[in-house]
A and B are shown apart, each in its own frame.
Chain A
Amino acid sequence: MANFNIDAKQDMTYDAIVIGSGISGGWAAKELCENGLKTLVLERGRLVEHVKDYPTMNLDPWDMEYRGSLPPEVRQKHTKGGRSGFIGETNEHFHANDLENPYTEVKPFMWVRAHQIGGRSILWGKQCYRWSDLDFEANAKDGYGVDWPIRYKDLAPWYTHVEKFAGISGETLGLPHLPDSHFLPPMELNCVEKHVKSRIEKEFQGRHMIIGRVAHLTEPLNGRGKCQFRNRCDRGCPYGAYFSSNAVTLPAANATGNLTIRPFSIVQSIIYDEEKGKATGVRIIDAETSEVFEYYAKIIFCNASTLSTTQILLNSTSNRFPNGLGNDSGELGHNLMDHTYRVGAMGKVDGFDDQYYKGRRPNGIYIPRYVNLDEKTKSDKFLRGFGYQGSGGRANWSAGANREDFGGDFKDSLMKPGPWEFFITGFAECLPYHENKVYLDKGNLDKWGQPTLAIDCEFKENEKAMNRQIRIDAKEMLERAGLRDIVDFDNEHEPGYGIHEMGTARMGRDSKTSVLNGNNQVHSCKNVFVTDGACMTSSSCVNPSLTYMALTARAANHAVSELKKNNL
């Protein structure tokens, strides 16, 4: 794959440094390399090469000694991230070790981290939705947070740019507040999803149910194969069918000959030159040897993931920036957001007993936001809005545990598919609150002697009011769609469960109230760019990764153009 700079000290100077190799770092590397910049990607974790390092990609349950369960000594490494319920033998090796990477939960916050080439792009949910001016204008309209310095029109061409290369499957709908992407063919709904869709759309004026828009190829693209519907994505895809840095952006960056990747490189801080008034490079700690190195470049892209990027900026102090690089506003570390998670309803659907499906679709349905779009849909209970994800399918043998039965007939009946079930679960926007924050905990150092992060964040009344509405609406939709045995729920998860952490180095129009400008440059240190989730000024209710991709591509091309003009 790439030109690995594992111990070469001679190559210390590059045109650009990218910190992090996940979704946004991969895009930064691709755009910068394709524009001719010699680019060094620093990744704190290990090397993961596409296909070669996907050891579990083809394992059936019985191929694993414990059929996917983890021994206690392995589970112990995931006491925090493991709360997600997502970590098992098939993907454990792609999750960071919580013991070696401690953080403090001032209030409960689940932080899922993935330290390797590709980062969380190997593990993500792949749901991709464009944001709209409903999102970019939200702060300005209701006064929470600061105004975004950009609008949808600024980002629209960049959405198209990244979608064409990433490959997004979906169906056009024509909603102004959920703009259509450049789509590959959509995946199919199953019988019950089609049925529920028609009932909900008939019963509720203005509500829609669509197949999820996802970064999975439904047609081959640029040498990548299409989805084979195995639904083993989080083990790494041998076909390269879903978007990951490993399968998509890093190979493209590497093809230019301009890419160097250095794994096991923990960025300790960004080096600021007081005389030049700009950053000149980064200081790293080798994760394996603890040796310290410095690398230099004209521009630096921060893509370490939302909280890690802010951790690096906070740790980058100088005479000019005693409170962290670019922190003139005092907002660095503040305004942390996530989406609320696992609030909704589920039920059973009668009447399709002779129907089934083929394939394990790594995707579900989506119900776009329908509240607070305009005066007519305005809620008097909360600001902003929410959308739902969900899916329908037939129960399998695992439902047998609850059946009050046992014996031979019971066992044989479990060989057949069970009843059709359908669920929806909401994702609500979180307002940007200054007091939801992270800060360096200098009393708690990690194994490399670096200050760890303390996270002090909670959902407040607006998010809780939305969760109540999500639950009520979910139940009502399923009832009026004719489902039975409906269970509505709110797991009251703390922030972090959405794994959509955003903010802490927000974009804005004014350097007094924000960290980044409209091109993702640090206001007061313009050759440093932040284009991961840290840059987000508000959180929308739709999944953020596609927007990180578009913002990154836009900022990288801006950086190249500014470099050419000698402005950086």
Chain B
Amino acid sequence: MAIFLYIKKFFISVYSIFLGFRVTLKNMFKKSVTLDYPLVKQPMKERFRGMVDLIPPDCVICYQCIRVCPTAALELAHVTKEDKKKEITKFVFNAEFCCFCGLCEEICPTDAIYLNKMYEVVYFDHQDMLSIDLMKADKYKFLNEKNPSCKI
């Protein structure tokens, strides 16, 4: 009887290995799911959360983004002029602290602060990413020149 069991086990083994190979064969002729990354780049989704960016004229200096930020990555200071108009003196973003949660974008009443679609973010100097001046228009310019695909 033992010999029959042995033969039965042998055939079951062969069958299960054949099944496995069939799966492999089926998948061999599938369309590739990966991209040739540095050459082919995936467009980011509409709600993608990249680097923090600001449209300076839209900012109403309500300090809500500063208050909601869980990691204190944003720093804002302002002065009140004689005609009671507020002016931003400092709006700095610390990319090292940022956890890219997007709460500042959600809470902003005028959509002045938002998260852009940059994802290849490399700085040559560590100090540069600790204090990114959001008031400057060309803050991410050199990154964009290096990576034309990830335009803001």
Binding partners A and B: no
Interface of A toward B, CB cutoff 8 Å: none
Interface of B toward A, CB cutoff 8 Å: none
